[in-house]
């Protein structure tokens, strides 16, 4: 079986967690992307904003922790990973996150220090 699992995001950092250890160093960053369009019926301008959970590993995590701040625009390439979470009430939920690893072809590039 052959497949490609690649995600490209360009968006602004809206939140950043602390560096922590779970089988190595990693940091969680939330990237916000937006899409705008004009509604054909009303002519009204619309916008859809989405927040993406990005888990950055290893040397990338250390660089992001040191140099990347809220409102910075980033270009990120990684892959989608699904995690199964079990809540206290016994229910399970699936969480999709973007995983970025330097040794796995991941890319993090600073576009600007302000939102474009």
In a domain, 97, yes or no: yes
Q: What percent of the chain stands above pLDDT 90? A: 49
Q: Is pLDDT of 19 > 60? A: no
pLDDT digits (tens, 9 = 90+) for 87-113: 888 888 888 999 999 888 899 999 998
Q: Is pLDDT of 22 > 70? A: no
In a domain, 60, yes or no: yes
pTM above 0.75, yes or no: yes
Which two three-digit tokens encode residue 73? 């625009």
How many domains, in total, are found in the chain?
A: 1
pLDDT digits (tens, 9 = 90+) for 52-89: 999 998 888 888 888 888 889 999 999 999 988 888 88
Mean pLDDT of the 13-39 span: 79
Q: Which CATH number fits the domain that encloses residue 27?
A: 2.40.50.140
Q: Is pLDDT of 21 > 60? A: no
Domain residues for the domain of 51 are 7-35+45-112
In a domain, 2, yes or no: no
In a domain, 89, yes or no: yes
């Amino acid at each position: 079986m052959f497949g490609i699992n690649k995600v490209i995001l360009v968006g602004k950092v809206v939140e950043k967690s602390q560096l922590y250890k779970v089988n190595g160093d990693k940091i969680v960053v939330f990237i916000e992307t937006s899409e705008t369009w004009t509604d054909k019926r009303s002519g009204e301008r619309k916008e859809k904003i989405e927040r993406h959970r990005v888990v950055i590993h290893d040397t990338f995590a250390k660089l992001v922790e040191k140099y990347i701040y809220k409102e910075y625009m980033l270009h990120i390439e990684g892959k989608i990973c699904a995690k199964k979470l079990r809540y206290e009430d016994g229910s399970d939920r699936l969480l999709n996150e973007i995983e970025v690893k330097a040794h796995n072809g991941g890319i993090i590039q600073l576009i600007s220090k302000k939102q474009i």
